[in-house]
Chain A
Amino acid sequence: MKETKYWKGLPGTEDLISNQADSSEFGESTPQLDGITESISTTAQTGRRDFLKMLGFSVTAATVAASCKMPVKKSIPYIFKPEEITPGMANYYSSAYVNGGDFVSVLVKTREGRPILAEGNNLSTISQGGMHAQAVASVLNLYSLGRTQKPMIDGKASTWKDVDTKVTSELSSISASGGKIVLLTGTIISPTTKKAIADFKAKYPTAEHIQYDAISYSGLLDANQKTFGLRAIPNYRFDAANLIVSIGADFLGTWISPVEYAADYAKNRKVSPEVTTMNRHIQIESMVSLSGSNADKRVPVKPSDEVNSVINLYNAIASKAGLASVSASGYSNKDIDAVADELWNAKGKSLVVCGSNNTDVQCLVNGINSMLGNYGATILWDRPSYQKQGDDTAVANLVNSISSVKAIIMAECNPVYTLADGAKFGDALSKTLSIYLGERRNETSEKSKIVAATNHYLESWGDAEPKAGVIATQQPTISPLFDTRQYQESLLVWAGNTTPYVDYMQANWATNIMPTQSKYSTSLLLWDNTIHDGEIVCNNTAPTLTPNFADMATSATNAKNSVAKRGAIELKLYEKVGIGTGLNTDNPWLLELPDPITKCTWENYLVTGASDEKYFHNPDHKEFKIANVTVGGVSFKLPIYCLPGVPAGVFAVSHGFGRTVTANAEFQHGVNVYNLLKENTLDVKIELTSEVAPLGCTQIHHLLTHKGLGGYKTRHIIKETTLDEYKKDNASENVIGEHKRKDWIKDELVTLYPGHTYPGHHWKMVIDLNSCIGCAACVVACTAENNVSVVGRDQVIKAREMHWLRIDKYYTGDDNNPQVTFQPMMCQHCDNAPCENVCPVAATNHSTEGINQMAYNRCIGTRYCANNCPYKVRRFNWYDYADADSFDKKYYTENIENIAEFPQVGMNEPLTRMILNPDVTVRSRGVIEKCSMCAQRLQAGKLEAKKAGEPLKDGAIRTACQNACPTNAIQFGDYNNKESLVSNLIDKDERVFGVIEEIHTLPNVMYMTKVRNKAKIDEFSFPENLLFS
């Protein structure tokens, strides 16, 4: 019998983990509040008299509390009700999340004028209805306690009038005396903002506009300048490529336009009985990325060898193409040679991308793509992307000549934090006229003389042109909460133009955008419709380019030299999917989001492979060894996390942490490693210290037991097959024990119990493991939609995270380069639910629509259900995370010795509570909660159909996770409707299975077998000693 081994922790520690599986969350005994019950808990004896005393007190207290008057509640209507607002009904507005060049078109849900959720906009040709974690979480930034709430001069609150007078007069005198003015921003993709900046420069001729990307793409841009004469990013078509080779570019997670690329990538991976072709993806990388985790083949190499691999690939393909080779790298790896062969076979249908920020490396990659004939096929120049425009040279010059700058205006960036020379830059800000235009307090705002508080994007007008001619719009969904002004308007005011920005933008559209489109006849139609849709695709003439690949030899030599100085241990700096560059590291949703790769929360750490046992953390993921890292002149300490897949001799650490100025000290974990950008990270020293530290790592929280029952050796959690096998048999690998799943259902799935009947709807969800890339946008969307609490780092360490939806990450195959499978796991709404049987108060039970219901107010918190749930998806409220009941925070803070114990980071302030979805109950302490299948959406969807008097249409109800998914991996619908997508998939697609359905839970959430485009799946016989206890 063939058994595939899946594991979650470190290699060789499965036995410990499997023992842990039952007890990770509830392993410890119920903690008792110090002080209150100390006398009782320490003696552990409750005498009869004590009991009677307590009983008497409780009854009296309850009586007294009960005789109190009910609080008087007020209903305060509008004075003049806005026409578009109906209390209790949501309004949706299109907008765009723009963070530097990061662009996602969104649909913003507002309730009574409050934005509460950002969902994907289906009308966008860029993000195609998908979201990423940061875009979903961006709504919470609006209600951040770290908002810059008013204009400030020298750290003191001021007025806009004073700020404008001061700035205008000082800038004028600087400009008149020829002093240098610098406008430093992130990448600006807004055409109207660019016009405003041009106006500003016209008023102050000595002003210079410098753009920079915290994580730079300058190398790629400069390489395109060199080889094509255009400093832009081409239009990568991941949907057109049959073979995708990425060298260190995490195009599914963080690289340039991840939502767009993920959507395109997944289109070509959806196999069905009709479509049996899919792309093949090879990732050559050092640190494991989201893309690498999804690759059909992953080649782990050291960071320096990523560069050598590019040279090797170039030479291998050049020799096949009969072109001149470049000087050899001196590195040999037969896997790379095999990749070259595959690439050559997929000529014109392949795509090579590279994450390097080295111009010469990117020139070679362009050369490879050119030799393969990919330009014009999978890489187009029809609509160049503007999403990265940063210029490293200009930034370096600025930092070097900062003392000669008389005035510096900074917008949409945090240079003090993200520049390699941030500290030096910060000191210089106090010696010049430094103006910070930002929405939240950060390191740069602290150092700036003037803070011109800006709006959040949901309070602003704006446009964005992520790709040439594709123009998206932003519109305010709420009046500014504070005394803020959007930065474009500030620039205009300082340029002497007092036109409101919306009028300015509208005028710009009428003159500059109107002529480039042919969809609308008048500029008013253009404006109204684009604001409604969120995007317009204008006509665009492709730039005429003259490719020049003459100087590849020099590029190769330079590239080789760039990695020449390498030591035994190399350090890779990488970007996390949820955290990105660190501008959002004060967003509790993102901080608590388990990183898709390491499943760690709240901080950064050193990541290394699983080959050297001396770095191993203990198997229960509670103690991580702390190492001292020395890179050039910089040294710091971080705990080590061992991640299977990272090659030996490689350590990685992520950007985005170690923030020092945020709303809350809880957000300031980890170390800022931007200063390492100027050091040689290819030669670092790692020394283990004797210290250990905990990490909020959820990888082995909520484990599904892998040991089989009733004659099965293992449980069937994941099912995967290869494309070749799938072509032969659509049901390949979809087995339960010895049986094909179909036969098993027919022959083995017998019961004496009558089961439920579903007279109306029968909700079911189908998740395609082949499309799911594990990006975790759904996790944040679920958090936002369902008022899921943020619990804080210390609680996550105790396995008390509240996420209703988690993404389980399983490894299989080689210990040091395992295949990864992501499995979104939420309540499976079992038709034969183990949790329902054990609830003593029937707080959880089954509905006639197949939903496993949870009545919070009936729950008494025994947690029997969580214990009995085989999927470990039930969450217990250990604290009153959102101040839902009458005990206030003061009670905890005064009574708990260890104050850090109590989470200070949740939605428990009047400002942050504005994010709460009013249709979902805020749970209080002591109750269990779990995925409700977005019950509020089911009810709302049915009600709309009833009101219209029409049968419910398939697809009319979409869950929050489904709406956020960039790859359409999640489908939801009514199984009783035989025309619905889910019933077609479940009845006809033989990839469908239920997780551990052999224990007869009859889940309503189904999964579809993962199909890998590779020769054979990794097999491993499971050690006998682990199978039966």
Chain B
Amino acid sequence: MTKLIRSQFPLGLQATKTLSVAIFIAIFTFSFITTNAQGDPKAGKGLYKSNCASCHKLNEKMTGPALTGVVERWESGAKHNGIDGKVWLNRWIKNWQDPVGAGNPYAMKMKDYDPSAMNQFPTLTDAQIDDILAYIQNPPVDASAPVVKTDDKKTEEPMFPTWFLFVILGVLVAIIVALSAVSRNLQNMVSEKMGEAVETHVPFYNNSKWRIVGGLVATVILFLVLVNNATALGRQQGYQPEQPIKFSHKLHAGTHKIECQYCHTSADKSKHSNIPSISTCMNCHKVINKGPKYGTSEIAKIYKYADYNPDTKTYGNNPKPTEWIRIHNLPDHVYFNHSQHVKVGGLKCQSCHGSIEEMEEVYQYAPLSMGWCINCHRNTEVNFDGNKYYSIYQKYSKAKAEGKMKGVTVENIGGTECQKCHY
């Protein structure tokens, strides 16, 4: 799909690409010009993420204060005993009790910023601290961010719309009919003139043979349409309801690469892959209160459901359950077990749920029809070697060893029988 778009708009793409490179270079150069610390912001980024990010953000208060401008603030306000503010800052980061013990008034003030004391980082070297501070002063722009946004669902616009082709087809058919009528009339006129007997023409729609054939064809088509639609009743492939919280699997599973089973904990244990409780969300969102797309609005909903006050960091007594809309619905007479497929079968979640890590909003990827289940059971081979349970299927193991069977499918061990899923 992407390829097509590129071929269609090569110039535009080229232009944006050039532009983004230019911007990047500009920012990068600019950052070098304004940097006065000796640190390397690139190295600092990693150090910042691993050491500071759990309590600090650059432009927002978290457990600790926002860090943008921290060097400037210390330089202007923390000079003490003739030692530079920047030096005090380094000593604070290594062990905050050091400047406090030395009676630095700025440090005394910062000590009471939050009841929770800052961690100590005695292992950080001055050079590393400089790297971190350099990063804080000049966070590099993420050059890998996608510049051109392509819509997943956008399809190629054909040169002519389908209806247009049908119109042309219709016109052609009309011309053929008209021409054949004309030619027949002409022939009749010729015959008349020649004195031959003129065949009385019965139009095909009055012809009983044609009627029977037409009727049969129409019945068969109607029947097929009816059966197809009837069997599809209740199927909801593509179902994409709006959820109470605009949770993005693309962000969580795609960008941040959070394991599916971090939230859907019971997928390998139980028949259900559970929908995480709001407390699971709070594991991270106690700290992360702003998202890239919706800002604080969606995360605020989590707080509302959990009855959590982000300012006081306390839970209230009035949490309420989140009423997610269920997307994947199986009929009540179908038994499906996640753990059988995830743990025993070793299937990836994506096999049935699609590229969930690319879905901003989840939709039903698979038809979840019985035919779809059965097809997979017919084609999927069971891993006999990895699981001693299957040792009872000696007949198959033997046939496999002798090369009589290529592989043992789920169907071979009874995976398409009624009472494997219906009981």
Contact bitstring B379-423, A, C-beta under 8 A = 1, else 0: 000000011110111011000000000000000111001111011
Chain A positions within 8 Å of B418 at CB level: 843, 845, 847, 853-855, 858
Say whether, besides A76-B323, A87-B266, A949-B387, A81 and B279 are in contact (CB < 8 Å): yes
Is A77 a contact partner of B333 (Cβ separation < 8 A)? no
Whether a CB of chain A sits under 8 angstroms from the CB of B170 is no
Please report the number of residue pairs spanning A and B whose Cβ atoms sit closer than 8 angstroms. 155
Whether a CB of chain B sits under 8 angstroms from the CB of A947 is yes
Shortest distance from the beta carbon of B261 to any chain A beta carbon, whole Å: 13
Is B324 a contact partner of A89 (Cβ separation < 8 A)? no
Contact of A853 among B241, B306, B417 (CB under 8 A): B417
Chain B positions within 8 Å of A951 at CB level: 388-389, 391-392
CA distance A86 to B337 in the complex (A): 13
Contact bitstring A386-427, B, C-beta under 8 A = 1, else 0: 000000000000000000000000000000000000000000
Chain A positions within 8 Å of B197 at CB level: none
Contact of A87 among B270, B322, B392, B419 (CB under 8 A): B270
Whether a CB of chain B sits under 8 angstroms from the CB of A178 is no
Is A949 a contact partner of B333 (Cβ separation < 8 A)? no
Is B419 a contact partner of A73 (Cβ separation < 8 A)? no
Chain A positions within 8 Å of B393 at CB level: 759-760
Whether a CB of chain A sits under 8 angstroms from the CB of B340 is yes
Contact of B417 among A759, A848, A920 (CB under 8 A): A848
Is B422 a contact partner of A857 (Cβ separation < 8 A)? yes
Whether a CB of chain B sits under 8 angstroms from the CB of A919 is yes
Say whether, besides A76-B324, A79-B319, A853-B417, A943 and B423 are in contact (CB < 8 Å): no
Shortest distance from the beta carbon of B319 to any chain A beta carbon, whole Å: 5
Contact bitstring A78-117, B, C-beta under 8 A = 1, else 0: 1111000011110000000000000000000000000000
Q: What is the chain A residue whose CB lies nearest that of B394?
A: A759
Q: What is the chain A residue whose CB lies nearest that of B387?
A: A949
Chain A positions within 8 Å of B229 at CB level: 66
Whether a CB of chain B sits under 8 angstroms from the CB of A286 is no
CA distance A80 to B420 in the complex (A): 33
Whether a CB of chain B sits under 8 angstroms from the CB of A856 is yes
Whether a CB of chain B sits under 8 angstroms from the CB of A648 is no
Is A77 a contact partner of B419 (Cβ separation < 8 A)? no
Is A88 a contact partner of B414 (Cβ separation < 8 A)? no
Contact of B420 among A761, A939, A949 (CB under 8 A): A939
Whether a CB of chain A sits under 8 angstroms from the CB of B277 is yes
Chain B positions within 8 Å of A922 at CB level: 332
Shortest distance from the beta carbon of A61 to any chain B beta carbon, whole Å: 14
Is A847 a contact partner of B339 (Cβ separation < 8 A)? no
Whether a CB of chain B sits under 8 angstroms from the CB of A707 is no
Is A81 a contact partner of B277 (Cβ separation < 8 A)? yes
Whether a CB of chain B sits under 8 angstroms from the CB of A28 is no
Is A849 a contact partner of B414 (Cβ separation < 8 A)? yes
* Residues of chain B from 322 to 374 with CB closer than 8 A to chain A in the complex: 322-326, 329, 331-333, 335, 337, 339-340, 343-344
Shortest distance from the beta carbon of A543 to any chain B beta carbon, whole Å: 51
Is A939 a contact partner of B325 (Cβ separation < 8 A)? no
CA distance A847 to B266 in the complex (A): 29
Whether a CB of chain A sits under 8 angstroms from the CB of B274 is yes
Contact bitstring B236-270, A, C-beta under 8 A = 1, else 0: 10000100000000000000000000000110011
Say whether, besides A70-B234, A857-B331, A943-B337, A77 and B275 are in contact (CB < 8 Å): yes
Say whether, besides A77-B274, A760-B414, A851 and B233 are in contact (CB < 8 Å): no
Shortest distance from the beta carbon of A381 to any chain B beta carbon, whole Å: 50
Is B389 a contact partner of A853 (Cβ separation < 8 A)? no
Is B277 a contact partner of A80 (Cβ separation < 8 A)? yes
CA distance A114 to B38 in the complex (A): 64
Is B422 a contact partner of A921 (Cβ separation < 8 A)? yes
Shortest distance from the beta carbon of B1 to any chain A beta carbon, whole Å: 30
CA distance A919 to B271 in the complex (A): 10
Chain B positions within 8 Å of A80 at CB level: 277-279, 319
Interface size, chain A (Cβ < 8 Å): 52
Is B340 a contact partner of A943 (Cβ separation < 8 A)? yes
Is A89 a contact partner of B269 (Cβ separation < 8 A)? yes
Say whether, besides A86-B269, A848-B413, A946-B340, A761 and B321 are in contact (CB < 8 Å): no
Shortest distance from the beta carbon of B265 to any chain A beta carbon, whole Å: 8
Is B323 a contact partner of A88 (Cβ separation < 8 A)? no
Contact of B325 among A72, A921, A935, A946 (CB under 8 A): A72
Is A939 a contact partner of B414 (Cβ separation < 8 A)? no
Whether a CB of chain B sits under 8 angstroms from the CB of A950 is yes
Whether a CB of chain A sits under 8 angstroms from the CB of B276 is yes
Chain A positions within 8 Å of B322 at CB level: 76-77
Shortest distance from the beta carbon of A1028 to any chain B beta carbon, whole Å: 39
Whether a CB of chain A sits under 8 angstroms from the CB of B320 is yes
Whether a CB of chain A sits under 8 angstroms from the CB of B24 is no
Q: What is the chain B residue whose CB lies nearest that of A937?
A: B423
Whether a CB of chain A sits under 8 angstroms from the CB of B211 is no
Q: What is the chain A residue whose CB lies nearest that of B392?
A: A760
Shortest distance from the beta carbon of B405 to any chain A beta carbon, whole Å: 11
Whether a CB of chain B sits under 8 angstroms from the CB of A430 is no
Say whether, besides A858-B418, A947-B343, A976-B392, A759 and B413 are in contact (CB < 8 Å): yes
Is A854 a contact partner of B414 (Cβ separation < 8 A)? no
Whether a CB of chain B sits under 8 angstroms from the CB of A912 is no
Is A855 a contact partner of B422 (Cβ separation < 8 A)? yes
Contact bitstring A845-872, B, C-beta under 8 A = 1, else 0: 1011101011111100000000000000
Shortest distance from the beta carbon of A562 to any chain B beta carbon, whole Å: 57
Is A943 a contact partner of B339 (Cβ separation < 8 A)? yes
Whether a CB of chain A sits under 8 angstroms from the CB of B305 is yes
Chain B positions within 8 Å of A848 at CB level: 413-414, 417
Chain B positions within 8 Å of A974 at CB level: 392
Is A73 a contact partner of B329 (Cβ separation < 8 A)? yes
Shortest distance from the beta carbon of B244 to any chain A beta carbon, whole Å: 9
Is B419 a contact partner of A79 (Cβ separation < 8 A)? no
Chain B positions within 8 Å of A853 at CB level: 417-419
Q: Which of B305, B321, B414, B419 has the most CB of A within 10 A?
A: B419
Whether a CB of chain B sits under 8 angstroms from the CB of A932 is yes
Contact of A847 among B340, B395, B414 (CB under 8 A): B414
Is A977 a contact partner of B392 (Cβ separation < 8 A)? yes
Contact of B388 among A73, A76, A949, A977 (CB under 8 A): A949
Whether a CB of chain A sits under 8 angstroms from the CB of B17 is no
Q: What is the chain A residue whose CB lies nearest that of B408?
A: A759
Say whether, besides A759-B395, A857-B333, A936-B423, A77 and B389 are in contact (CB < 8 Å): no
Whether a CB of chain A sits under 8 angstroms from the CB of B272 is yes
Shortest distance from the beta carbon of A631 to any chain B beta carbon, whole Å: 51
Is A77 a contact partner of B413 (Cβ separation < 8 A)? no
Whether a CB of chain B sits under 8 angstroms from the CB of A688 is no
Contact of B419 among A855, A942, A947 (CB under 8 A): A855
CA distance A920 to B334 in the complex (A): 9
Is A88 a contact partner of B392 (Cβ separation < 8 A)? no
Question: Which residues of B line the A interface, CB within 8 A?
Answer: 229-230, 233-234, 236, 241, 265-266, 269-272, 274-280, 305-306, 319-326, 329, 331-333, 335, 337, 339-340, 343-344, 386-389, 391-393, 395-396, 412-414, 417-420, 422-423
Q: List 30 A-B contacts (CB under 8 A).
A: A66-B229, A70-B234, A70-B236, A74-B323, A74-B325, A77-B321, A77-B322, A79-B319, A79-B321, A80-B279, A81-B274, A88-B266, A88-B337, A89-B271, A759-B412, A847-B417, A847-B419, A847-B420, A853-B417, A855-B422, A856-B422, A857-B422, A919-B423, A921-B332, A932-B423, A943-B337, A943-B339, A946-B389, A951-B388, A951-B392
Which 8 A-B pairs rank lowest in CB-CB distance, beginning with the nearest? A88-B270, A853-B419, A935-B423, A88-B271, A855-B418, A88-B272, A848-B414, A73-B326
- Extra contacts, 19 of them, besides A70-B236, A79-B305, A947-B339 (Cβ < 8 A), are A72-B241, A74-B324, A77-B322, A78-B277, A80-B279, A87-B270, A87-B272, A88-B272, A89-B269, A759-B396, A847-B414, A848-B414, A853-B418, A855-B419, A857-B333, A946-B340, A946-B344, A950-B389, A977-B392
Question: Which residues of A line the B interface, CB within 8 A?
Answer: 66, 70, 72-81, 86-89, 759-761, 843, 845, 847-849, 851, 853-858, 919-922, 932, 935-936, 939, 942-943, 945-952, 974, 976-977
